[in-house]
Chain A
Amino acid sequence: MSKLGYAWIGFLLIVVMLGIYGIITIKFIGVEESPIPWNLLIVAYVFLAIASTGLCVISVAGNVYRLRGYKVVAERAAFLAIITMLCAYIPLLVHIGHVGRMYHFVTSPNLYSSMWWMGFLYTLYLLFEAAEFWFLIRFNVVKLSQEATGIKRTIYRVISLGSRDLSEESLKRDAKFARLMGFIALFAALSAHFTLGTIFARLESRALWYGSFMPFHFILSAIRLGIATILLTTIVSYWITKKEMKMEIKEFFTGHLRRLFAFLIAFSLIYYAWLISQSVLHKETYFFWHLLIAGPYARDFWLFQIVIGKIIPLAILLHPSAGRSLRGLFTASLLFIVGSFVLRYQWIVVAQTLPLMALREGLITYTPSVPEILVVSGTFALLALIYTIGIRLLPLEKWYVVTKAVK
């Protein structure tokens, strides 16, 4: 590994450490009462859960439905889906007051609560997604374990769960199981994600969230964010491993995926325009949109959500040369990810700024506290760290090559 590589890992470790410090502060030392119930931690959770669902969809499109192009990123997407979901749980659990009482989810479930269903479905999703990933990489991990020596060998042995089978039948069986697991994971992911949308969408009192289109739009957001993440991470990992990107991946990225991404961004712009125009009919909803488009949140809304998060990426993607270069795709997806985070932040925070029962006027103001920021950045750093290690250790692309050879 290069010096830069070590510096990068060192940097991530420091941010993770700071995150742990943030967790300790929130959990054991105690912090100021947050003026809104769902703060930055929940924003990060929702954001990561959205990304994970999108990555699952991409992985399944390649692995289960054998869509051309998607196949080459299926393993990477599955791996990312698992680690993002695992990391998503960190801010969520930090936010929950009594993690120790969470066994009540099993002992006294409220089947009428979207929150309960979300917990249940995401757990299911994680299990099946992990199973899918394992079947996808098992063959290559076994191979690697035979080639490797020392500690690496042990790690591969553990990952392969003791399996040593390298026969052609086992490869076929793997493919079969990977598809089945992926298929179930997809349904779990979509229903979990729909339920996550419903958590917000069914709250009549929060006009910005309320509405039956919201859960659907959540799924579209997931696919968008999934595409952005897979573009970003794949390109970056080719850059840092200093390898030439395979032609197939490059074609897929600059062709189909670019067009789909551009289409989805354009669609979200139209959806926004539609939402805002609809809100005029409804006083409460309009109130919130007004805060966003012309009120105190307007600057961040226009700058981050619209210009950085949508217009610039769209322009890059549609540009004849920039859209076909990896640099262009990288920039577009990075900006889009930044924009989506701000979107999720504003969407969750602004809806809670209206005091629901008060003769007094005035909005609640919220700025994230330092421990919250530390925990969230620590979570993202941990994610990057696991990914950095993952791309060095796991066969995230060889599968495709091997199957082709076998066929």
Chain B
Amino acid sequence: MKISRRNFIKGALATAVSLSFSSQAWAEESEKRFAILFNGFNCVGCEICQLACKKRNRLPENFETILSPRTYVYVSAGVRKGKEVRVRYSCMHCGKAPCLEACPVRAIRRSKSGFVYIDQRHCIGCQYCIVACHYGVPKFDPENKVSSKCHGCFDIVEKGKKPACVEACPWNALDFGKRDEIIEKAKNIAKKKDGYVYGIKEAGGLGVIYVLPVDAEELGIFPRVRKEESIYPADFIYEAILVVLMPIVGYYAVKEYLVAEEEE
């Protein structure tokens, strides 16, 4: 098992029980995982994907350029390093999803295809997932008082169809398939067009793979998300203190308690 700082924090506070649940937070490392490919070289920013998504999810069909309880996906445009950049924003379907770990009542689940979805009938509306997400994706729906976000059309994907946005894109900017194959495709496009691939390692490997003309993380288009295998040695000092200190403090606390008891 790889040790990350986060696992360490948890190890210190949670019990063996909680660790046995840790597997649910990880996407099964298997061929079963699917992914969406976003090709930033092909995207023209027509927002047809947004429209298709709204049709499928019966959301009000006005365009928005921000994620909201009524918009699960949109494309944003900007200029970075003299290049025009278009980025598709929606849930990334992280392989190690903080939203899924955060939800106290397991309203967020991972489907067989690897996509992460919210069971809104189960959600209590605590909004922890909203705060926890690396990418600020889930949004609170004040009308229904639950959290909402893109679900990767996991229901139709399991029946062998493509997500609605992928199906709708007329410019071949979106693609869908087995995650391994999508990564290969992304790498090929990047090589040909001199672009950058994003999403292979971030947050346990994303369910959306990007090919963009610029390095998105470097330019702050995406927040910096720790790659799964990177270890920051300095972090361990704190956890080491914690792991050593807790039993010592606990020991003295109990000892003092018993001593005072005898004195009674």
Contact = CB atoms under 8 A, between A and B. Distances in A.
Given A96-B124, A104-B106, 4 more contacts: A104-B105, A172-B264, A205-B225, A357-B136
Given A212-B242, A284-B224, A356-B136, A204 B6 contact: yes
B260 interface: yes
A110 interface: yes
A112 B101 contact: yes
Nearest to A283: B224
Interface string B89-130: 100000000100111111100000000000000111111101
A140 interface: no
A183 B10 CA distance: 24
Contacts of A191: 13
A277 to B, nearest CB: 14
Interface of B: 5-6, 8-10, 13-14, 17-18, 21-22, 24-25, 66-67, 76-78, 80, 85, 87, 89, 98, 101-107, 122-128, 130-137, 140, 142-146, 221-226, 235, 238-239, 242, 253, 256-257, 260-261, 263-264
Interface of A, secondary structure class, is: loop
Contact of A205 (B104, B223, B242): B223
29 contacts: A33-B140, A34-B140, A37-B127, A37-B131, A64-B257, A65-B260, A95-B127, A96-B126, A104-B122, A108-B106, A112-B10, A112-B21, A113-B128, A115-B103, A115-B126, A115-B128, A179-B257, A179-B260, A186-B253, A194-B13, A203-B98, A205-B136, A205-B225, A212-B5, A212-B235, A284-B224, A357-B89, A357-B135, A359-B87
A333 interface: no
Given A112-B24, A115-B102, A175-B264, A213 B238 contact: yes
A229 interface: no
Nearest to A357: B135
Contact of A97 (B13, B67, B146): B146
Contacts of A357: 67, 89, 135-137, 222-223
A114 B101 CA distance: 9
B135 A111 contact: no
A10 interface: no
Contacts of B124: 96-99, 101-102, 104
B238 A212 contact: yes
Nearest to B219: A359
Contacts of A202: 6, 9-10
B146 A98 contact: yes
A38 B128 CA distance: 8
B105 A111 contact: no
Contact of A98 (B89, B145, B224): B145
B13 A198 contact: yes
B140 A203 contact: no
